[in-house]
Amino acid sequence: MGAYFKELFSGTKSLFVGLQITFGQMLKPLVTQQYPHEISTMTPRFRGHIELIPKEDGTTKCIVCGMCQRSCPSGCITVAGEKREGVKGKVLTKYRLDFTKCSLCGMCVESCRPGAITFSKEYNLASTRKEDYTFDLLKRLEEKAK
Amino acid sequence: MDSEIIRVIAFLVGVIAFAALNAAYLVWLERKEAAHIQRRIGPKEVGPFGLLQPMVDGIKLMTKQILIPDGVDPILFRLAPILAMIPAIMCFVTIPFSQELVARNINLGLLMIFAFASINVLALLLGGWASANKYAVISAARAVAQNVAYEIPMLITVITMVMITGTLNLNDIVAQQPNISQWYIFRFSASPLMPVAFLIFFVCSLAETNRAPFDLSEAESELVAGFHTEYSSMGFGLFFMGEYANIVIGSSLAVILFLGGWQDPFGLFPGVWWFLIKLYCLIFTVIWIRWTYPRTQFYGLLNLSWKILIPISLFNLLLTAGFLKVF
């Protein structure tokens, strides 16, 4: 009989403790992120697709050596350049990335001697068309410079 | 036109609007409260604070097709949702929102509410059985066992209350509790166990309305949706509205019997606002309880009724009888 009442009291008490805990949680700040309205900043080591790093004047550091293209195990990168009068070295005319094949291994970033490419922080990349994943990185750099 | 007819029509429209609005906005409250307990925001996109969400949900439910599967009992299948909704609306007739704001102040109001509330079980049983679905039948059987088990302690508590108040007229019961010290939950001169009686009544009303943690009859993880598994569109909508209307009635009864109904706690400004404040505090608690406790097991549910609630409410009945005789 004593055990019955003991259990009754401890049980009822535990119910109220439970209610107190959930009420406490209700008063605490929210933890969810309202995704389309708020976008979180990515961590420094996050790997998005690669992008060209601009110099201070907005142009690329790329010397069109083609190391990234050669080091890419999936053959995602196509680089082209031309010789222009009055300019030392080659000038980049095309930097195309086929992101459908890219596995974000980072061989291109590692092999780039002038340090012209890096991982972007881009992740909102959902699309239903394959063509949306072929990026023209030179155009992207020019748009970024504007 | 006769003023009596106008009065009847006005109350009919008012009661149905109150029940429907409550069903719609209690869903909103439920989702918001659940979200904040889990530290989310809840509905927020449709209208300010998501306030138009229930309207949009209502339109969606009303414009959907009612599917009637093969093998169901065609009459009972259509009858069950109506039978779930009508008694719930009927119960509002005797609820005194304020001293004047009561559709019919009949002398047997309390009895009438329990008479109509017990039809609800029948609706669940019919709905489950007519669906010809094994989950629905299991759910209906559980609902009946549960309602039978919890009707007893609830009615014993109500008998205790009627012994103290000496009337079944809900408005008279409220009139006997003019301020907070005379609310029946604190009327220790009638019985020292009055707060316990309130707790028993509240727990039973949760179980009667199949609310969590006693929602075994619609246990989503094992019975799909319970008795309304096969219902779509407003068939489901009526069950849903009936369920929320029953929560409102259960909480209103608790407010009327124990918390002084439309009376002001300080005896200053009695009126409909006090009734609504107390009512929504209780409903808030009902929802709060749902998002706090896990679902009980079936034997735990019946053990709670037969081993704890019934003996204690019977003891309270005897104690109250003794107190009334002696003092």
| Cis omega (within 30 of 0) for bond into B213 | yes
* In a shared domain, residues A98 and A60: yes
Rounded to whole angstroms, how far apart are CA atoms B200 and B2? 45
Residues of A in contact with B36 (CB under 8 A): 25-26, 30
A81 and A139 housed in the same domain: yes
A44 in any annotated domain = no
pLDDT digits (tens, 9 = 90+) for A79-135: 988 888 888 888 888 888 898 889 999 899 999 888 888 888 888 888 899 888 888
Partners of residue B288 in chain A, C-beta under 8 Å: 19, 22-23
Kindly tell me the burial class for residue B193, based on how many C-beta atoms sit within 10 Å of its own C-beta (0-12, 13-18, 19 or more).
Answer: buried
Between residues B230 and B279, the one the model is more confident about: B279
- Do the domain assignments include residue A36? no
Predicted confidence band at A17 (pLDDT cuts at 50, 70, 90)?
Answer: very high
Out of A8, A26, A32, the one facing B37 most closely (by C-beta) is A26
Q: Which of A110-114, B219-223, B277-281 has the lowest mean pLDDT?
A: B219-223
Domain-wise residue ranges, chain B: 69-326
Are A58 and A27 contained in the same domain?
no
Residue of A nearest to B289 (CA): A19
Q: Which of B36, B49, B206, B282 to mutate to test the interface with A (most CBs of A within 10 A)?
A: B36
- Alpha-carbon gap, residue A115 to A50, rounded angstroms: 12
CB contact under 8 A, A26 and B36: yes
Inside any domain, residue A138: yes
- ipTM here: 0.76
**Same-domain pairing of A87 and A140:** yes
Q: Can you give the pLDDT at residue A142?
A: 82
Residues of A in contact with B295 (CB under 8 A): none
Instruction: State pLDDT tens for residues B152-164.
Output: 899 999 999 898 8
CB pairs under 8 A between A and B: 33
What is the token pair recorded at A60?
């690329």
What is the mean predicted confidence (pLDDT) over B39-48? 85
Q: Which two tokens stand for residue B128?
A: 């489950």
Q: Which residue of A has its CA nearest to B309?
A: A8
Q: Is residue A42 part of a domain?
A: no
CA distance B180 to A27: 28
CA angle B61, B117, B111 (to 5 degrees): 150
Residue B320, pLDDT above cutoff 70: yes
Closest chain B C-alpha to A74 CA, distance in angstroms: 42
Structural tokens at position B261: 């109904």
Query: Is there a single domain that holds both residue A27 and residue A54?
Result: no
Q: pLDDT tens digits, residue range B67-92?
A: 888 888 888 888 888 888 888 888 88
Q: What CATH code is carried by the domain that includes residue A141?
A: 3.30.70.3270
Domain that holds residue A105: 50-145
Total structural domains within chain A = 2
Say yes or no: A89 and A138 in one domain: yes
A118 with A55, same domain? yes
Task: Please state the pTM of the whole predicted model.
Answer: 0.80
Task: With residue B38 as reference, give the H or E element that holds it.
Answer: none
Query: HSE on the CB side for A108, CA within 13 Å?
Result: 30
Residue B285 binned pLDDT confidence (cut-offs 50, 70, 90): very high
Shortest CA distance from B290: residue in chain A: A19
CA-CA distance, A13 to A24, in Å (whole number)?
A: 17
Residue A73: inside a domain, yes or no?
yes
Q: Does A75 map to a domain?
A: yes
Residue type, A120: S
Identify whether residues A76 and A122 lie together within a single domain: yes
